Amino acid sequence: MIQPRELSSDTSPSARHFGRLLERRWRDGFFLCVGLDPEYSQIPAFLKQGTEEEAVEESYYAFCRAIVEATAESVCAFKPNLAFFEQAGPPGLKALKRLGDYLRSRFPEIPLILDAKRGDIASTNKGYVASLFDYFGGDAVTVQPYLGGEALEPYLERAEKGVFVLCRTSNPGSAELQMLSAGAEGTPLYLKVAQLAANDWNSNRNVGLVAGATYPAELAQIRAVAPDVPLLVPGVGAQGGDLEAVLKYGRDSQGYGLVINSSRGIIYAGKDENFAEAAGVAARKLAEEIKTRID
């Protein structure tokens, strides 16, 4: 059984701290993260009202808001993937901004992870930081480590924010680079990234790693070298990741440490006017399965 940690009682929106928000959700038994990946073609037609631009913005916002309301009781976090909003241009980005504002107002206890996979030279990253954290209101972000820890400093120095570094991703082609030898001992690159992220880059204790559920053996190795960092785990659900293995190998020494993401399997569980209700059922089912296996 999970034992709760001692945490600050301050949950006001003005005192948001990703790590504390996430730990409170873990303490209450929530490990599921719902990925918000709206595609205009899959949004129910009754949500598409007004001109084309209005229909895109309103339908993106209404769809995601309804999913949030239906699943909030089951999650530790929400994770919009920026690509799905960016592909719609200004209407999609306006919807994302409204969604972030709504989440902080209506569900201030649930952190928002922006799946952006950003990473560039430090000066460019300052622009990303201002956009993702200050404008869109993200509590955490996903980043790629290819330019090294120095380039990531604008994210890392925001101690109240979470920074999830891509490590061993769930896509089939990830081994092309991530399994390359990175050292005399033959350490694979993804494991070197895990070591650097957990030790060299984690002075503010705000670093996490992205480790796919589709590679449970590597997940175990990542947890061994990064015993206390949060793991954002995609691949459960539509991608066929092994939930039992994730829970066996991915939890930290306190029994926490996991943010288990499911996107398509939840948000597209229903196709008609009852889409949100179907999403709520799917989220509750998966969240309950996680709790049952942990207990």
Residue 77's pLDDT band (cuts 50, 70, 90)? very high
- Separation in Å, CA 232 to CA 208, 210, 222: 7, 5, 12
User: How far apart (Å, rounded) are the C-alpha atoms in residues 201 and 220?
Assistant: 21
**Among 92, 112, 93, 91, which Cα is nearest to 103's?**
112
Domain ranges within the chain, ordered by starting residue:
16-294
Instruction: Give the model confidence (pLDDT) of 179-195 as tens digits.
Output: 888 876 789 999 999 99
Q: State yes or no: pLDDT of 295 exceeds 80.
A: no
**Among 162, 165, 167, which Cα is nearest to 206's?**
162
Residue 237 pLDDT: 60
Helix (H) or strand (E) holding 115: strand 113-118
Q: State yes or no: pLDDT of 6 exceeds 50.
A: no
Token reading at 203: 């002075």
Q: State yes or no: pLDDT of 199 exceeds 90.
A: yes
Instruction: Give the model confidence (pLDDT) of 139-154 as tens digits.
Output: 999 999 999 999 999 9
* Token pair 């205009």 in the structure block, residue: 40
Burial class of 241 by CB neighbour count within 10 A (0 to 12, 13 to 18, 19+): buried
Hey, what CATH topology would domain 16-294 get? Answer: TIM Barrel (3.20.20)
- Active-site residue, 117 included: yes
Token reading at 97: 């901004």
Residue 242 pLDDT: 83
Within the chain, what is the greatest distance between any pair of CA atoms?
Answer: 61
Q: State yes or no: pLDDT of 268 exceeds 80.
A: yes
Catalytic residue among 117, 126, 285, 291: 117
Instruction: Give the model confidence (pLDDT) of 114-126 as tens digits.
Output: 999 999 997 899 9
Q: Would residue 52 be called left, alpha or beta, if left means φ above 0 and alpha means ψ between -120 and 50 degrees?
A: alpha
**Among 143, 64, 158, which Cα is nearest to 107's?**
64
- Separation in Å, CA 45 to CA 65, 253, 264: 16, 47, 18
**Among 218, 290, 295, 281, which Cα is nearest to 261's?**
290
Q: What is the mean pLDDT of the chain?
A: 91
Q: State yes or no: pLDDT of 28 exceeds 70.
A: yes
